Amino acid sequence: MFFTDIRNKISNLQSLVDTIVKECRYNDTAITDVVLHVQKLQQDHDHLTEILPSLVAAEVEKRLLTIEQERQAKLGSKNPYFEVISEVDVEDGNKARFELDWNPAFISELKSKGYTGATEQEYVYKWLRVIADQVEKGSVA
C-alpha cells in the first residue's frame, strides 16, 4: 500500500506533464508556463526519489516494531501460543532456518496432555516428534 501510493504520485506527476504538454498553446507564455510546471514536477519527483529510501526504512522499522509488540503480547497471554518462525536463505542454496516460539501457557497445555520433560524445549521437542510421526503415518487432519 505504501509503495503503491508513492508509485501513484510519481505516475500522476508524469501524467500531469503529458497533459500540460498536450494542452499547451504554442505561444511564449504557454511554453514558459509549461517549462515552469515541468521544472516543479521534476523537483517533486527528485524530492520523492531522494526521500523514498528513508520512508521505506521507517515503514519497515514500524512494521517490525508492530510484529515484536504482537509477539510479546502472545508470549504474555494466558492462551497457549506456539509458532514456527522460518526463513529461506536463497543466497546459501535455499537453506531453510527456523526458530520455535512459545509461551508458558503452551507448556502448561502440553503438561496437561501428559507430555514430560526437564526443560521447556524437551516438552516442545516431544510434542513435535508426535506431530512428525502423525504426518509420516498420514494421520494429521
Neighbouring CB atoms inside 10 A of 90's CB total 8
Report the SS3 class of residue 95: strand
Q: In terms of pLDDT, which residue wins out, 118 or 39?
A: 118
17 pLDDT higher than 90: no
Least confident of 61-65, 83-87, 94-98: 94-98
Interval 104-115: pLDDT, tens: 999 999 999 999
Pairing of strands 95-102, 82-89: antiparallel
Domain boundaries, the chain: 2-74, 77-137
Alpha-carbon distance 110 to 128, whole Å?
11
Which strand (E) or helix (H) includes residue 80? none
Mean pLDDT of the chain: 83
Interval 27-75: pLDDT, tens: 556 667 777 878 888 888 888 888 888 888 888 899 989 988 998 899 8
